[in-house]
Structure 1
């Protein structure tokens, strides 16, 4: 291996430029997004250091970690110097961050409004590139008993099992449920399928004294509430 090739490994940088040492000595907040990604990938390519390559990867996603999190493994591997292992490391780290946000949101367990539902579910489904349908189960104090992913891939393309929703509600002794799904397109307008499914679940659950309280459409930055708009 030539001297030029060796120099791109982080361990061969000057100590002041090493993001790992910087994290240890100065703390996590001292590092830029690019430096944190550089720690994940470890080395760059012939043209870029690990930090330089990380900056290019971020720039291609508008320097937005949420946008970067939407990229597939194959998308990441299009960058010179990013093989499958490095791409997987980046994807895994971003997914952990997304799940951590979702876990932090669950500390607000009592639902007081549609905005509370949005705060809880946006970190989980708000920036996904595909559609997912979720159900939030509540007790008589509007506290969350459980949240459950019911389908993945879109309401029109995936069977939403009404029986499973009601079975889980009975097992949890839930008295209320909130339906939610994301629109990757960013549109907040409910589709005909959204409205039909809401009514189907509302009728089915009412026979078991379980009330559909709302149906929330979640996007990256905003939401639509069936209840707020008088559709339930």
Structure 2
């Protein structure tokens, strides 16, 4: 049965208009982006099938990959571009809120920024939040990208970008696509190398966050910075 024949309060668009986006399931939100179903399958059923095939919204966005948006079975090019655009809008909204002057001294603000930018990625990536002397965000950059289980990070490049950005402090972070956020021995060693290299140019490393499933792990909170 087509969605237009559903009770009005159960249709995704009407439900969003009447109760807000937070009232919708993942499948219902995705159905709004899809816009329509296919023969013999309404948009919500199509959305559920896509989510089941990829495990979650995160899995679906990871499967889309970077530019250009990949073609996935059951998801057309237009819908794929819309989903990537929606994810990027959310990322930019979060970052612009911080750019208006919020200091990243609050661990929660820093965690939200790194989670939003790194958790959706299917490969490991290393990012830097460049801060001024009052720990307000100057810029956020993904500096290195690697494979599903590693990314090569060069402290020299991080130092160079700090000087170009005139940063007084930085927060760094990387993701573990496996979902397990526990830092490895290599992660801890890299943190110390970065701390020492940045100290030579009077830039303070405030934290190194590891993003997986659940809350990120803060190396500063563990006394490793």
TM-score (norm 2): 0.75
Distance 2:223 2:16 in 1: 53
**In the TM superposition, what are the counterparts of 1:1-232 in structure 2 within 5 Å?**
13-14=4-5, 22=14, 26=18, 29=21, 33-61=26-54, 64-72=56-64, 77-79=72-74, 82-101=75-94, 103-104=96-97, 109-153=102-146, 158-232=151-225
Distance 1:174 1:98 in 2: 22
Q: 1:178 to 1:26 in 2, by over 3 A?
A: closer
- Aligned-pair Cα RMSD in Å: 3.6
Distance 2:159 2:190 in 1: 14
Query: What is the deviation of 1:181?
Result: 0.8
Query: What is the deviation of 1:180?
Result: 1.0
CA contact (8 A) 1:127 1:220 kept: no
| Structure 1: gaps spanning 5 or more residues | 1-6
CA contact (8 A) 2:12 2:24 kept: no
Larger radius of gyration, structure 1 or 2?
1
TM-score (norm 1): 0.73
Q: Deviations over 1:159-203 (max 9, x none)?
A: 423333222322333222222111111223322332232222222
CA contact (8 A) 1:155 1:193 kept: no
Q: Deviations over 1:46-71 (max 9, x none)?
A: 22122322233234455x43343233
